Amino acid sequence: MRVLYVGDIMAGPGQQVVEKLLPQLRKKYQPDFVIAQAENIDESGKGPGYKEIKRMQACGVDFFSGGNHSLLGKNSHDLYGDESMPVIRPANLDSDTGKGYKIINTSQGNILVVSILGQTVGHGQPRIANPLDTIDKILSTLSEEDFAASIVNFHGDFSSEKRVFGYYLDGRVSAVIGDHWHVPTADAMILPGGTAHITDVGMCGTLHSSIGVRTELIVNRWKTGRPSRNEIEEKGPLQFNAVLVDVDESTGLARSIEHIQQIIE
């Protein structure tokens, strides 16, 4: 089973580059299932809504993972409250809205997708349960016969957390894919026990920006110490980042992981 995981889709520019490149990447790599990080997909950069999800489905995304901004969009609670929608929010987020994991049927077998928040992520977050305890509870309630592949998304700030979480699950899931930084790391690998891992897959959005936001606003905030509202950078080249994971359905472990980056004007 070939799974393509697309990094954080950052607002309008992120939607544009995914819409432009994903159809041709699906033809080239022939993934059986495509997952995308949707926590920043709204035009404001916070939380998904029905419109954004349907637009990305139309260009080839099958399922959407979550992060610390998942429930902050103006339409996010309605979206996550609709169990028919192919979205999850972090499983260890203190919320009664939506699900933290789902099992989806594909032509190559069932696939488990889980989102987990690191314990250090963003500011002013609600209570976050221990990531290790959370994933243990989820896996303990499931049988390996329930799915042929398992993709765990770890959304956090600390590289140490992301890395340790990968090793903690090594040999137990197909892949542990980190995101949230919006900056790709050069460490995609198969861990000793057979789990594919990357610390951060990167984002989809404007290349010359502060993780999708106008850089001059961040510089001014940094120099003056005065708070300001983020504004999405709309100009310049666009970047697309993803990883392709090939899973052996007979073992549920990964054969390979490849980082994919494309930049378009």
Q: How many CA atoms lie within 13 A of 217 on its CB side?
A: 13
The order of strands in the sheet holding 196-198 is 101-106, 109-117, 149-155, 175-179, 196-198, 189-190
Could you read off the pLDDT tens digit of each residue along the chain, which spans 265 residues? 999 999 999 999 999 999 999 999 999 999 999 999 999 998 776 888 899 999 999 999 999 999 888 777 777 888 888 989 999 999 998 888 899 999 999 989 999 999 999 987 765 566 789 999 999 999 999 998 899 999 999 999 889 999 999 999 999 999 999 999 899 999 999 999 999 999 999 999 999 998 888 989 889 999 999 988 888 889 999 999 999 999 999 999 999 999 999 999 9
Show the beta-strand stretches assigned E in the chain.
Answer: 2-6, 8-9, 33-37, 63-65, 101-106, 109-117, 149-155, 175-179, 189-190, 196-198, 203-206, 238-248, 253-264
For residue 255, how many other CB atoms are within 10 A of its CB? 15
Residue entry with tokens 């993709």: 151
Q: For residue 64, what pLDDT is reported?
A: 97
Residues marked as catalytic: 69
Segments making up each domain of the chain, as ranges: 2-264
Query: What pLDDT does 126 receive?
Result: 64
pTM for the full predicted model: 0.94
Superfamily of domain 2-264: Metallo-dependent phosphatases (3.60.21.10)
How confident is the model at residue 163, as a pLDDT? 96
Residue 122 pLDDT: 61
Give the pLDDT score at 171.
98
| Cα gap 88→98, rounded to integer Å | 7
What pLDDT score was predicted for residue 202? 97
Contact 90/100 with Cβ under 8 angstroms?
A: yes
Tokens of 37: 């990080």
